[in-house]
Amino acid sequence: MRIGIVARLEIPNALEVTRKVLRLLAKEEILLERGLAKKLRKRGVEAQVLRTADAIVTIGGDGTVLFAQQQAPETPMLGINLGERGFLADVTPNEAQRALRMLVTGGLPIVERERLVGEAAGKRLPDALNDAVVCSAKDGRTLTLRVSVDGKVAVDVQGDGVIVATPTGSTAYALAAGGPVVDPRLKVFVVVPICPSHPKPNPLVVPIDSRIEIEPTRSERGAFVIVDGQVAAKLEPGEKATFYRSDKPARFFGWGEFYRKLREKL
């Protein structure tokens, strides 16, 4: 089996766990992300080579999974969690040996998760597994944003921005901003205002086949569009960002159970 490995080196014990994983996968063909390979003094591969793997194992937290998704968006992932919450990286270090054994023997199901597509500033943005955020291009400045769903104005938001989240992303930034937790089996998106002023608009839950448009309405203020934590585009005054369902869902090796993770991590 051809397995890519991506690790977040800033996390304590990440190298130790990586070496353990390499021992457990000694009989498989291993592809190491270049930064990790350099630390291990081994040969690394470019992102396009990672995309040829049968599976990718991430070692870190949910952010490491998001990074790996951007490198190899169509490859199924298994995340070993060294972070805090671990909704995407949900294998504990103590479970790693059993999970990896099941992975290489075909004992883990593949689970698909919805992703979000964005268009802004005349280009298609990278697919988002968690969320896309429209926020001010200037630190400390608020925005006035008009949110439309399928061509109809849904809400005007004056505040720090708006989050459009997938069911997977509902337990991340959207939850911190006051949005609901969404069972990943539901086919919906969540639209969550960030720190809105009075009158305070409520979060929205919309069908997954909706087209969501967000437009800054103050002519002097531009906005950034941030996709899974990375700045992807800048909106100039008068431009809109549009979001809709991706036709390429993310793929994960199934591990754990959603409501158990909710009880343990939230």
Identify whether residues 129 and 237 lie together within a single domain.
Answer: yes
CA distance 242 to 189: 13
Q: 226: which 2 tokens?
A: 């941030």
The domain total for the chain is: 2
Q: Is 62 part of the annotated catalytic residue set?
A: yes
Residue spans of the chain under pLDDT 50? none
What is the CATH number for 86? 3.40.50.10330
pLDDT reported for residue 6 = 96
Identify whether residues 191 and 256 lie together within a single domain.
Answer: no
Identify whether residues 34 and 141 lie together within a single domain.
Answer: no
Name the active-site residue from 62, 131, 160, 228: 62
Q: Is 201 helix (H, G, I), strand (E, B) or coil?
A: coil
Contact 3, 56 (CB under 8 A): yes
Angle between helices 96-104 and 14-24 (to 10 degrees): 40
Identify whether residues 9 and 103 lie together within a single domain.
Answer: yes
Where in the sequence is the domain holding 133, given as residue range(s)? 116-245
Contact 55, 1 (CB under 8 A): yes
pLDDT reported for residue 7 = 95
At position 32, the amino acid (one-letter code) is L
pLDDT reported for residue 130 = 96
CA distance 141 to 160: 7
Q: HSE on the CB side for 26, CA within 13 Å?
A: 4
Identify whether residues 52 and 65 lie together within a single domain.
Answer: yes
Identify whether residues 66 and 121 lie together within a single domain.
Answer: no
Identify whether residues 33 and 108 lie together within a single domain.
Answer: yes
Sign of the CA dihedral 210, 67, 141, 120?
negative
- pTM, two decimals, is 0.91
What is the CATH number for 125? 2.60.200.30
Contact 127, 248 (CB under 8 A): yes
Identify whether residues 91 and 158 lie together within a single domain.
Answer: no
Q: What spatial distance separates the first Cα and last Cα of the chain, rounded to whole Å?
A: 35
Identify whether residues 21 and 122 lie together within a single domain.
Answer: no
CA distance 266 to 264: 6
Identify whether residues 233 and 203 lie together within a single domain.
Answer: yes
Identify whether residues 146 and 190 lie together within a single domain.
Answer: yes
Identify whether residues 126 and 231 lie together within a single domain.
Answer: yes
Cα dist from 245 to 131, 222, 240, whole Å: 12, 25, 17
